[in-house]
Structures are given as C-alpha cells and as structure tokens.
Amino acid sequence: MKSSLENFQKDVQSFTLMTLFSVPILGKNTYTDYPEFLGKIQSLNKKFPSKKSHFGFKELKALGHVVSGISLGIDKNKVAEVLLRPMPQKKKGIPSLLGFSGYYKLHIRDFASIERTLSKLCDKDTVFGMTVDRIRAFESLRKALTTAPPLLMTNFKLPFKLYIDTSGDGLGDALHQFQIINDKPVEGPICFTSRQIKPTSARYQASQMESLCIVWASEKLNYFLERCVSEVITDCTAVK
C-alpha cells in the first residue's frame, strides 16, 4: 500500500473517504458494503491491521471529523478545546487560531470574510491590539466553529445547487444538494468556499462582483460541477 497509494485511492474512492491515515467506508447498507470493500482489498493484495479496523459503527471520528455514511461533521470535542482558550493576548496566538479554524473552512459559510480582520494582525507591520472589530471577528469565528453544519456526502448522480454570495469583504458560495435521508428529501451543504476580494476587483459594481464570484466558484468547484447538472442561484437581478 505504501508503494501504490495513488492507485489504491483510485480503486476504492467510489465508496470510501481515503485519507493518509484512515479509510472510512461510506455506505448505507454495511452488510453489503463491507464484503464488497474487503473483497476489493483482497483482490488488490492489500492488508489492514485488525487492531486498527472497526466494523459495524454508524459513525466514526477521524482527523477531527465525525464521519458517517450520510455526512461529514466537525468533532465538537476538538472545537471545545479551542473555545476554552482565552482571547489571544499576543500576535503569535493569531496564526494558531486561524490555522485551526482554516482546517474546517469548508464547513463555514463566508469563512474568508470572517477571518479577514484577524488575518491582518499577522502582518509584520501591524501593531497587535484587540479592537472592537477584532473582538467581534474573534467571536464570530468561534460561533461559526460551534454552529458549522455537517456536510452531506456527495452524490454525483444528483444535481447541485450553487448559491452565490458576495459582499464588500469577499466572495463566497455554498454548494448544496437535495438528497433522500431517512426517506425524506433534505437539502444540505456539500461545502462552502470563499476568498477575500483582491485590490484589482475592489471597485467592481455589484453585477460585476456577482459575475466574478460565479466564474471563480465554478472554477474552484469544477471537480463537482463538471460531472452533473447544476443550478446557479444569485440574488443579483442583472446577472439572472
């Protein structure tokens, strides 16, 4: 497995969430999926240590996430450790906070806009000081981590809905899907992406900014959107 990780990932990615240290099996019917997975492993002449293998769980914790056959959520215990920390009193505490929250940015709507104020504190020439705006950004970031929704496991047989959201601080989007969960139709997020506005586009009009966001989001999420039908949703009348 160490010598052919890339090939192994391609072989099992249709029903697993492949990571460097673990291979959670994603499926609604474990009695069907486990034999299929183990048969695939055997045919590839691969082995897993029995002590590190877990079967029959509805969900598992892996790399700071809670993984199930339906969704990928944030491990609240990991987040709680950060929430117990006091507000940073020195500049060196900011990169640590932003690094941790950035790990979960796919779960957080408009992450780039939220962390924009705090990220400026990392500049070498910026004098450290927790102003009202920075305290508000810090609290918003903590709230975003605690209220971040679980992300649905992608179903490439179903269409996507791409919600576009722009502001003076950044570009943002939310990729959603309608899926049948527990025999009920549910619309939920697949992921959230965002970025800060660059100086070259800071003077764009609303329609231009919205168009820029659509193009950027389409390129960013090309892996999802190129495979099936997608609907773009925007509140900008000029772009509709």
Which of 1-10, 28-37, 72-81, 200-209 bottoms out in mean pLDDT, i.e. has the lowest?
1-10
Give the pLDDT band of residue 16 (cuts 50, 70, 90): low
Instruction: Report the distance separating Cα 120 and Cα 136, nearest Å.
Output: 14
Is residue 238 one of the residues assigned to a domain? no
The H-or-E segment that residue 176 falls in is strand 170-181
pTM of the model: 0.78
In which band, very low, low, confident or very high, does the pLDDT at 110 lie, cut at 50, 70 and 90? Answer: very high
Q: Which residue range forms the structural domain that includes residue 194?
A: 154-233
Kindly state whether residue 21 falls inside one of the protein's structural domains. yes
Cβ pair 81, 123 in contact under 8 A: no
The whole-number pLDDT of residue 69 equals 79
Higher-confidence residue: 53 or 105? 105
- In this structure, the answer to whether residues 85 and 139 fall within a common structural domain is yes
Number of domains in the chain: 3
Q: Which of 128, 147, 166 is the last residue of a domain?
A: 147
Give the residue, 161 or 168, on which the prediction is more confident: 161
pLDDT at 192 over 50: yes
| 225 within some domain | yes
Residue 182 has pLDDT above 90, yes or no: no
Whether residues 23 and 88 share a domain: the answer is no
Phi then psi for 70, rounded to 5 degrees?
Answer: -110, -40
Same structural domain, 160 and 228: yes
Q: Residue 165: its pLDDT value, please?
A: 86
Say if residue 165 is in the same domain as residue 133.
no
- Cα-Cα-Cα-Cα dihedral sign, residues 57, 62, 70, 25: negative
pLDDT exceeds cutoff 80 at 209: yes
If you count them, how many residues does the chain have?
240
Q: At which of 147, 168, 199 does a domain end? A: 147
Do 142 and 164 reside in the same domain of the chain?
A: no
Going by pLDDT thresholds of 50, 70 and 90, the confidence category of residue 31 is low
Tell whether 239 is covered by a domain.
no
Residues 91 and 117 grouped into a single domain: yes
- Residues 67-81 have a mean pLDDT of 88
| Residue 175: CATH number of its domain | 3.10.20.370
